[in-house]
Amino acid sequence: MTLLMDEIALATARLAEAGVPSPRTDAEEIAAFVHGVRRGQLHTVRDADFDALFWEGVARREAREPLQHITGRAYFRYLSLEVGPGVFVPRPETEVVAGWAIDRLREMDVASPVVVDLGTGSGAIALSIAQEVALAQVHAVEVDPVAYGWAKRNIVEHGQGRVSLHPEDLADCLPELNGRVDLVISNPPYIPPGAVPRDPEVRDYDPSRALYGSGEDGLDEVRAVERTARRLLRPGGLVAVEHADQQGSSVYLEFTEERGWRDTRDHTDLAGRDRFVTARYGQE
């Protein structure tokens, strides 16, 4: 066993003691980042090349700084995205939402579907759709200037010419696309103002503007997404909106038949928790 693998074992114990949910994986990711190799290549790092900066990264993770802030990267579906302070770190739960949208877009009888991602953050959803749906015209909307900067960097790296980024508010964006959009998708802020996330990685590092929704129940931004989707979508167009696991029924009730919505459904994530609502606007 190499020196690095011994150090990873020690780091794993430290991270486990600190309550890090995936201590071995995180120790290996930090080691791979510091030594400029893939996780599967860690055994190739020679003892003479061991870099003590590894322990600086471990100490930061031990203090519950997000792994993605330490490595500067977040993995989302088939993408490796730049992330850091000021932008929401995309979660595996949202991959399920993006996957639903990608599957529906592939089923559409539309040569070049128009998609709008409201509150794009790092650009994770928009870029995944652009990468996985041929000829999709993807519009990413982000009003926060710091998050916009991260999205711009990721679009330059992964989606140049395939994703259009707009510095606009999701409530009144893109009037030029009214009635022309095939799918609207959003992971808006939805945590009620009085609720505090348990995980320190979320509570202490994700930007509050991306976490906490407005209004007593935290769902004012979801309501804005509903109104914007109703304005943007063509008849038969689809919407998908992420929510917290206890908000399914509340979000479901925002997409009513009286407002023109059909086939409203709540969907679960990989852990079986209510995660996102979808609906179809009007009749085909």
pLDDT tens-digit readout, 266-275: 999 888 889 9
pLDDT of 162 over the 90 cut: no
Q: Respond yes or no: is residue 88 known to be catalytic.
A: yes
Last residue of a domain, one of 63, 91, 115: 63
50 & 167 share domain: no
151 & 268 share domain: yes
Among residues 88, 90, 113, 154, the one annotated as catalytic is 88
> How many domains does the chain fold into?
2
Looking at residue 103, its amino acid is D
pLDDT of 284 over the 60 cut: no
pLDDT of 283 over the 80 cut: no
Q: Respond yes or no: is residue 235 known to be catalytic.
A: no
- How do 233-242 and 274-281 pair as beta strands? antiparallel
Inside any domain, residue 73: no
pLDDT of 161 over the 90 cut: no
158 & 234 share domain: yes
pLDDT of 220 over the 70 cut: yes
* One-letter-per-residue 3-state SS of the chain: CCHHHHHHHHHHHHHHHCCCCCHHHHHHHHHHHHHCCCHHHHHHCCHHHCCCHHHHHHHHHHCCCCHHHHHCEEEECCEEEECCCCCCCCCHHHHHHHHHHHHHHHHCCCCCCEEEEECCCCCHHHHHHHHHCCCCEEEEECCCHHHHHHHHHHHHHHCCCCEEEECCCCCCCCHHHCCCEEEEEECCCCECCCCCCCCHHHHCCCCHHHHECCCCCCCHHHHHHHHHHHHHEEEEEEEEEECCCCCHHHHHCCCCHHHCEEEEEEEECCCCCEEEEEEEECCC
Among residues 66, 76, 154, 187, the one annotated as catalytic is 187
End-to-end alpha-carbon separation of the chain, Å? 62
pLDDT in tens, 6-23: 999 999 999 999 999 999
Looking at residue 248, its amino acid is G
The CATH number covering residue 189 comes to 3.40.50.150
The residue with greater pLDDT, 283 or 34, is 34
Inside any domain, residue 119: yes
What's this model's pTM, rounded to 2 decimal places? Answer: 0.91
108 & 202 share domain: yes
Last residue of a domain, one of 38, 63, 88: 63
154 & 197 share domain: yes
Which residues participate in the annotated binding site for S-adenosyl-L-methionine? 119-123, 142, 187
152 & 46 share domain: no
* % the chain with pLDDT above 70: 99
pLDDT of 243 over the 80 cut: yes
| pLDDT at site 1 | 60
Last residue of a domain, one of 33, 63, 93: 63
Inside any domain, residue 95: yes
129 & 257 share domain: yes
102 & 242 share domain: yes
Domain containing residue 13: 3-63
Inside any domain, residue 259: yes
pLDDT in tens, 94-121: 999 999 999 999 999 999 999 999 999 9
Among residues 23, 188, 255, 276, the one annotated as catalytic is 188
Which residues participate in the annotated binding site? 119-123, 142, 187-190
Per-residue pLDDT band at 247 (split at 50, 70, 90): confident
Inside any domain, residue 71: no
* % the chain with pLDDT above 90: 74
Q: What is the mean pLDDT of residues 14-40?
A: 94
| Interatomic CA distance for residues 86 and 234, integer angstroms | 34
| pLDDT at site 193 | 81
110 & 242 share domain: yes
| pLDDT at site 194 | 76
Inside any domain, residue 264: yes
Inside any domain, residue 271: yes
Q: Respond yes or no: is residue 276 known to be catalytic.
A: no
Inside any domain, residue 69: no
Which residues participate in the annotated binding site for substrate? 187-190
Per-residue pLDDT band at 276 (split at 50, 70, 90): very high
56 & 105 share domain: no
pLDDT in tens, 174-207: 999 999 999 999 999 988 887 778 888 888 898 8
| Interatomic CA distance for residues 190 and 152, integer angstroms | 24
82 & 59 share domain: no
Q: Average per-residue pLDDT in the chain?
A: 93
Strand partners, 268: 274
124 & 188 share domain: yes
Q: What is the mean pLDDT of residues 48-73?
A: 94
